[in-house]
């Protein structure tokens, strides 16, 4: 594991690291904030999955999570959103596909399948690396994310309810199988059979019987992607007759940016801290 940078913040350490990924067959970069409490004891870990076009750096630089994470003793891990490298397949003029747009799934179609194994990377390979190098209590894990990362966090929680104790999202894509900006990517990554898409679709997973105790979703009403891409009311409908508890908060004037995310970041950190113990 190569150290890219390490900086002291709020008594803890904000680091950026790189390693060679077996799952994605490329060098992967990720960020970790280690609170001061982790110098002497294992601490809960909270995974943040970023959205389309982002890297680990967007939330690290603009998410404003370190002060409260240090206070609460939370380790924050921020993976990249896709494999990287000159030999990794990409669509240079399409921001909704390829590099920066891995959708946290395991691609099955060429040429994407060779490198785009983000589900395995985020759920298996990176946790093993984090557990090896940091004082993490892997029995206390939470996951959250933004937009495409909100989709990733919610699907991963639904598929791994025994691993994660908490899940929340900022403006998630709750039904990517029918959203304008994700359907083309799903077909390229997973093929034309839409049954294969359901395992990476939050609403479909709930319809097919997947369960997770509760979710917190924050959504801005001024978000330009709300009507065609995000549509949180579809998830509200999907959980209506289940035992899944949903707190959906719609906010006037807020858009899709990190100004929105940073405004409600403290609420999400406290939500997770309460559930992680």
Active site residues: 147, 223, 256
Provide, for the chain, the percentages of residues in helix, strand and coil under a 3-state DSSP scheme, each rounded to the nearest 5. 35, 25, 35
Query: How far are the Cα atoms of 57, 63, 103, 232 from residue 121, in angstroms, in the given order?
Result: 18, 23, 12, 27
Helices and strands (DSSP H and E) totals, the chain = 9, 9
Residues 6+ apart with CB under 8 A from 122: 47, 49, 79, 104, 152, 156
Contact criterion met (CB below 8 Å) for 206 and 234: no
Residues 6+ apart with CB under 8 A from 172: 145, 146, 147, 149, 150, 151, 153, 154, 202, 217, 230, 232, 235
- Among 52, 128, 56, 43, smallest CA distance to 96 is for 52
Residues 6+ apart with CB under 8 A from 93: none
> Cα(81)–Cα(77) distance, rounded to whole angstroms?
13
Q: How many CA atoms lie within 13 A of 211 on its CB side?
A: 8
Rounded to a whole number, what is the distance in angstroms from the first to the last CA of the chain? Answer: 30
Query: How far are the Cα atoms of 68, 89, 116 from residue 84, in angstroms, in the given order?
Result: 31, 9, 10
């Amino acid at each position: 594991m190569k150290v890219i940078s390490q900086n002291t913040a709020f008594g803890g350490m904000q680091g950026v690291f790189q390693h060679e990924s077996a799952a994605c067959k490329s060098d992967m970069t990720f960020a970790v904030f280690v609170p001061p409490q982790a110098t002497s004891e294992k601490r809960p870990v909270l995974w943040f999955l970023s959205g389309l076009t982002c890297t680990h750096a967007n939330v690290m630089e603009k998410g404003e999570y370190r002060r409260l994470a240090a206070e609460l003793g939370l380790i924050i891990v921020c993976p990249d959103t896709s494999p990287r490298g000159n030999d990794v397949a990409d669509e240079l003029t399409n921001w909704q596909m390829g590099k920066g747009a891995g959708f946290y799934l395991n691609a099955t179609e060429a040429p994407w399948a060779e490198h785009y194994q983000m589900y395995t990377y985020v759920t298996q390979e990176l946790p093993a690396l984090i557990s090896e190098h940091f004082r993490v209590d892997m029995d206390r894990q939470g996951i959250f994310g933004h937009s495409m990362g909100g989709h990733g966090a919610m699907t991963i929680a639904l598929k791994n309810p025994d691993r994660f104790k908490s899940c929340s999202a900022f403006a998630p894509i709750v039904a990517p199988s029918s959203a304008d900006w994700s359907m083309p990517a799903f077909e390229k990554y997973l093929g034309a059979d839409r049954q294969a898409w359901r395992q990476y679709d939050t609403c479909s997973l709930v319809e097919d019987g997947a369960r997770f105790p509760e979710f917190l979703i924050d959504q801005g009403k001024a978000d330009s992607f709300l009507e065609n891409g995000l549509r949180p009311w579809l998830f509200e409908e999907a959980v209506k007759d289940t035992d899944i508890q949903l707190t959906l908060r719609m906010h006037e004037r807020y858009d899709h940016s990190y100004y929105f995310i940073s405004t409600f970041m403290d609420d999400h950190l406290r939500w997770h801290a309460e559930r992680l113990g």
